[in-house]
A and B are shown apart, each in its own frame.
Chain A
Amino acid sequence: MRDVGYLRVGDTAEALTAAARPGARLIAGGTELVNLLKERIEQPDLLVDISRLPLTDITVGPDGLHLGALARMSDVAAHPEVRSGYPAIAQALELSASPQLRNMATMGGNLMQRTRCPYFRADHDLPCNKRRPGSGCSAIDGDHRAAAIFGASESCVATHPSDLAVALVALDAQVRTTARTLPARDLHRLPGDQPHRDTVLDHGEMILGIDVPVSPPSAYLKVRERGSYEFALVSVAVAAETSGGVIRTARAALGGVAPKPWPLDVDLAGVPLRRDELRAAIAPAFAAARPLPGSEFKIELAQRAVVRALTKPIGLMGET
């Protein structure tokens, strides 16, 4: 790891000033940035430690849920009202990483995670346009089992790893930064020919919090090979109101299938909660899938996961 400057800031204004400096990077939980520093994927000159800023609030009100950018994953997941009112968020968090990492990692940092593509994360600098623009993509002709089936480009097929982000998109959350408020679904960007840029945020811009509107019943389903402590092969978050076995409103987003949380843009209102009908209703959203040979299975797996999440109550969830 290259040596680096360190500044602990006492308030948001100080953080903003410091973060605006060229070569500055914000650090909070550390669970992502410290890894990127060790792999020399990121080599900032200055670490701006925002971990002691008072942005750890978890507030549930009539207008919804408000999460401070520095609220820890474990605290949000354990919050009784998050568990009862926003189970997809609690489940997405509790199915992430490990108890230790969830005690460290923050809401903002979770959204700023970078891809787990093994070529990006390699122990040395392999051809990877996300890691070194213009160097090529090793995954397209290499091991791309984990690759995206939506939204990829010729320069990058990596997926976004956050579970939380998928739940936030399904719950139509907003992300508040020091510069703006934007829908969670617009935070991450598609790679195009600039895959090194994961989000739309500018240098020095800092996430302050997340606002989630009051949510219908929701759930998060994570498909992974290992029983725990693994990133998703595919995942799905759903938030749906149903009555008499028929969907009134539903919103869903997929994880592990795209460079960003992938909203399932189909209208499910009026669809009965039966496998065949659901399967037919979501099928159009998968027509746009462009898998690589090794990731083709995700098309089928993701559709099954969506149907499953809508038909079978999971964990904390009540009626779907």
Chain B
Amino acid sequence: MRVRLRVNGAERQVDVEPRVTLLDALREVIGLTGTKKGCDRGECGACTVHVNGRRIDACMTLAVMHEGDEITTIEGLDHPVQRAFLEHDAFQCGFCTPGQLMSAAACLAEGHTGSDAEIREWMSGNTCRCAAYPHIVAAVREVAGRA
């Protein structure tokens, strides 16, 4: 099936079977490999992207369901939280980082940054096995202006 997506501001026509997830379409068809596949079951958040401005897990949705949708991946993100992650060392291996950043940018936009506890809760959909969690909280807190 042909499906038309807007990915990072650019129109993309992709030809995929209905069973192809948005994640696999991004990685294997379009070639945007910044978005990661950690569990493929909605259990880790490594595949977090924005669809029409909201963060979602790209492994849990089919590409054909996103005709005309506006999709932003890490390759299209330009947000101060990226530099904050770098400065706070909010990652180690970096594999979950694209998903963390997409989530962090959304978390900030949603305003779920009123306290460290709130940030922790609203960043809990992204597991980090290196466990940079306190640094992730610090980076989000800083961008939220509570540094």
Partner-B contacts on A (CB < 8 A): 1-6, 8, 27, 29-31, 34-35, 37-38, 47, 49, 51, 74, 97-101, 103-104, 227-229
Contacts and interface: CB of A to CB of B under 8 A. Distances in A.
Interface of B: 1, 17-19, 21, 40-42, 45, 48, 54-57, 59-62, 64-65, 67, 103, 106-107, 110, 112, 120-122, 124-127
Contact of B125 (A2, A3, A101): A101
B56 A34 contact: no
A103 B55 contact: yes
A97 B19 CA distance: 23
Contacts of A98: 42, 45, 57, 124-126
Contacts of B64: 6, 8, 49
A104 B110 CA distance: 15
Contacts of A38: 40-41
Contacts of A6: 1, 18, 62, 64
26 contacts: A1-B19, A3-B19, A5-B18, A6-B62, A6-B64, A8-B65, A8-B67, A31-B60, A34-B59, A35-B41, A47-B18, A49-B65, A51-B65, A97-B125, A98-B126, A99-B110, A100-B42, A100-B55, A100-B103, A101-B57, A103-B54, A103-B55, A103-B56, A104-B56, A104-B61, A227-B124
Given A5-B18, A8-B67, A100 B56 contact: yes
Contacts, number: 89
B18 A101 contact: no
B19 A228 contact: no
B18 A3 contact: yes
B17 A3 contact: yes
Given A4-B19, A227-B124, A228-B121, A101 B42 contact: yes
- Tell which of A31, A51, A98, A103 has the most Cβ of chain B within 10 Å: A98
A6 B124 CA distance: 33
A30 B60 contact: yes
Contacts of B59: 34
A286 B65 CA distance: 45
Contacts of B18: 3-6, 47
A51 B112 CA distance: 26
Contact of A37 (B1, B19, B42, B65): B19
A104 B62 contact: no
Given A34-B62, A38-B41, A103-B55, A2 B67 contact: no
A37 B19 CA distance: 9
A228 B124 contact: yes
B61 A34 contact: yes
B143 to A, nearest CB: 17
Contacts of B65: 8, 27, 30, 49, 51
A47 B55 contact: no
A27 B18 CA distance: 12
Contact of B103 (A8, A35, A99): A99
A103 B52 CA distance: 11
- Tell which of A2, A6, A8, A74 has the most Cβ of chain B within 10 Å: A6
A229 B124 contact: yes
B136 to A, nearest CB: 14
Given A2-B19, A38-B41, A100-B125, 4 more contacts: A8-B64, A8-B65, A49-B65, A229-B127
